[in-house]
Chains A and B, each alone.
Chain A
């Protein structure tokens, strides 16, 4: 069984029936536990005080903004090479969720930046490259419905997504390539994960919230993808 097996709408439906309850269970367990840990149990930072708690939603939304874009990039390549309809529908389902995660990342970052840096925004490499990602999301979503035939819009959006992939390593390495006000990554690699630059009491809610919100985003994308498939079926039937 290869990846193309799941690109068949019937197989995808079968997979979704198994995966959705699993993701929902994980979400129902992890999000309340993560929120209690993030807001109550985890200690305030000795310098930042309670403002550090913004990290437990800022970092997961930053991770989601990039992970969803990477997933869209893979779908776009599949769509361009094999002209698979499900790839286009995946872009329609996932891009708005990724754009929302990017907006959350930027806004929670600003809410954290004001008390810590003394400013809502700086034209720093990390912040600017994430803002560019937001613009790429908006442009790609706009392209999806810019043509009379949805397939043409899907192809144009797929090319735009592939071109935009170049921004992902720029975001990731921006804190290393340039002098930035934004701090370097604390969990950038497996080696760093084993020896994180963060106390365990803070790492625990961060990981729980990241996994919980990733499950929630995956549920939303799967539900939206199922809806897109039904919408396409409805259009074909001419209802």
Chain B
């Protein structure tokens, strides 16, 4: 498998990487916000 297939995705590069990038941002954001919220509330309740 050459680098062009992996990174280039031919003429659909923007669409494919856009879809995967968006999914990554959304799921990473949801996970990070859930962990941070849980951490902060955990500290508040323990006080």
Contacts and interface: CB of A to CB of B under 8 A. Distances in A.
A213 B27 CA distance: 9
A175 interface: no
B42 to A, nearest CB: 6
Main secondary structure of the interface of A (DSSP, over half): helix
A216 B31 contact: yes
A111 B15 contact: yes
B18 to A, nearest CB: 5
Interface stretch (A123-131, A133-141, A178-186, A220-228): A220-228
A216 B27 contact: yes
Contact of B34 (A40, A49, A227): A227
Nearest to B47: A239
B27 A223 contact: no
Interface stretch (A51-59, A165-173, A193-201): A51-59
Contacts of A216: 27, 31
B27 to A, nearest CB: 6
Given A223-B38, A233-B45, A234-B44, A100 B16 contact: no
Given A108-B23, A230-B45, A239-B47, A50 B34 contact: no
Interface in B1-28: 1, 5-6, 9-13, 15-16, 18-20, 22-23, 26-27
